[in-house]
Structure 1
């Protein structure tokens, strides 16, 4: 799917908004990548084992806040990208998780952990020398939601 400047999910064709919970509004990567709607692409988390840990307001001048450094280090070898705002990161990987959660962390940080029912913007701007693989985030997710 595509997204608007306000991060609203859009269908790749037509004028309709899309829904993170209605498969009939979703599009394939091929359709979304050739569409000119909106300002970018995103990914729907549908409970298939792919999760995203969203860290907002943790990146300044390319440097992570100390609370975010710990989370990124704990993520290990997995794909991490800079968010559209340039001030956050999305940590992508695999883990078994039923429900998402917002976790307030020591040091003033916040991590949002989502396995399903969410649309996450994608920038394809890797953070650092992140690998292009989805690693196992089970340990990290377990620590965050414990």
Structure 2
């Protein structure tokens, strides 16, 4: 079947059906899709080995890797292994589902400038955190701190400057980005950081 929309942004392909099969509407989308497919390569084996992977659309809608249809962060039947999700042609990137087993994610929203400078408030959180897998969010403006901890209910903390800090441990999926700097490919216990943010 001839593809008629861009694999990355779902925009209509102008030259669909003419000559060599077209997958992307622009070089920009091709590069972005390539970067997102590679996003999971530096992910710690502890996460990569779980069968809790999905895809996500350009609008962050969770998608099944096998069909491209809607996935659910609470229905394991819609998840798959990392390899299958990484090879899937559906959506714009990888997502990992948090299911309450102790793997958690702290999302520091809008903490990176366009030139990669980290906001002081985010640097303070990062410095208080033991070395753990950290990635730049797909938007390029935030950080995800991955680790071990106990989070019963997700929290969203709004800062006075408009930035957000989100803490999740279950019932959510996280869209993967790319490794931040030289962050280790392992998860640390970040319970103390979580406690400091949520109390």
> TM-score surpassing 0.5?
yes
- Work out whether 1:31 is the aligned partner of 2:91: no
Query: TM-score w.r.t. structure 2 length?
Result: 0.70
Partner Cα separation in structure 1 for residue 189 and residue 162 of structure 2? 26
- Work out whether 1:51 is the aligned partner of 2:104: yes
Task: Tell me which of 118, 122, 143 is aligned to 2:176.
Answer: 122
User: 1:112 maps to what in 2?
Assistant: 166
Partner Cα separation in structure 2 for residue 58 and residue 24 of structure 1? 35
- Using the TM superposition, give the Cα deviation of residue 105 of structure 1 relative to its aligned residue in structure 2, in angstroms: 3.8
Tell me, yes or no, if the aligned pair for 2:64 and 2:78 is still in contact at 8 Å.
Answer: yes
Greater helix proportion = 2
Between stretches 50-59 and 21-30, larger displacement belongs to 21-30
Q: Secondary structure at the match of 2:196?
A: helix
Summarize deviations over 1:70-107 as a string: whole Å, max 9, x none: 11111220010000110011110000121111123465
Structure index of larger Rg = 2
- Work out whether 1:68 is the aligned partner of 2:113: no
Structure 1 consecutive aligned stretches of length 4 or more whose deviation exceeds 3 Å:
105-109
User: 2:66 maps to what in 1?
Assistant: 13
Query: TM-score w.r.t. structure 1 length?
Result: 0.94
CA RMSD of aligned residues (A): 1.2
How many residues are treated as equivalent by the alignment?
Answer: 145
Tell me, yes or no, if the aligned pair for 2:135 and 2:144 is still in contact at 8 Å.
Answer: yes
Partner Cα separation in structure 2 for residue 30 and residue 129 of structure 1? 24
Partner Cα separation in structure 1 for residue 58 and residue 95 of structure 2? 12
Q: Structure 1 38/85 Cα, relative in aligned 2: closer, same or farther at 3 Å?
A: same
Q: Structure 1 106/69 Cα, relative in aligned 2: closer, same or farther at 3 Å?
A: farther
- Using the TM superposition, give the Cα deviation of residue 121 of structure 1 relative to its aligned residue in structure 2, in angstroms: 0.3
Which residues of structure 2 form unaligned runs of 5+? 1-53
